[in-house]
Structures are given as structure tokens and as C-alpha cells.
Structure 1
């Protein structure tokens, strides 16, 4: 629990987006499909930040729908903490 007299105690380190994405299951949305594809991709790195994941998608020549799903995933991830 954060300590009101210690601003540092409010800081929660966010897990990397790549790791968060890999465990997304049964959402019934595009993020679920993106996560499933990431789990099946042996070159996908779980320690990736948003820029690294986006660069990976670009290198894999992902389509516009995939990038839209990634934008949704990033928004959900960002809303969790920090």
C-alpha cells in the first residue's frame, strides 16, 4: 500500500507490454487475436516496450488491422498502472 508521506511508494513498475500481451486470453476482441499471434511467433520478444513491439510488427509486415489491435492493446496496458 502506498505511503502518503513517501511519493516513491506510489510508483509501480509496469510490466513490459510484450509480456502483458502474451498472457491476454479469452478477451473476444482484436487484442486476443494479436496475443495469440504473438504467442505463436518464436521471434516475438516478451520484454518489448511499445516501440519495440510496434517495430516487430512493422518488420513482420503486419497489416493495418493488426496495428489497430496493437493500439487497443497499448491503451489497455497503459490504463493498468502508472
Structure 2
């Protein structure tokens, strides 16, 4: 059991960024900003889709296919 004061170790180093993206879901298209990027994923602020939903992230003419692992009111990862 870990103490509440034990720091959480992450598998991948997070890098703060500010990348404007378009996130396409099955029925919607949302503008958002990638604020946190790592080899294992990204946090997108300003966009929210249900956990386990599939989406496309569009940036600079490129498309990345993703699955939402977690979602809150105005952000997801």
C-alpha cells in the first residue's frame, strides 16, 4: 500500500505543449488544444468525448487515430 504522500511515477515523461487540433468523433468535430504530450498519449483541453470512444486528431494535414482513455468536463486523454 502506498502512502498518500508517495509521488506517482509515470511510464513516460510528459512534455508541456500548446498545439491547436481538431478532434473528430463519430458524430462531432471539436476544436481543442494538446497541452500535455508524451510517448504514451496526450491530454487535450477544450474537448471531451466519452471514455473508450474512438476519434481522429487532426493537425497540420496529418491524422492520428486514438482511443479516449479518460474524460472529464472539458478535457480528455
Indicate whether the TM-score tops 0.5.
no
The higher relative CO (CA closer than 8 Å, separation ≥ 6) is in: 1
- How does the TM-score come out when normalised to structure 2? 0.23
State which structure, 1 or 2, has the greater radius of gyration over its C-alpha atoms: 1
Q: Which has the higher strand share?
A: 2
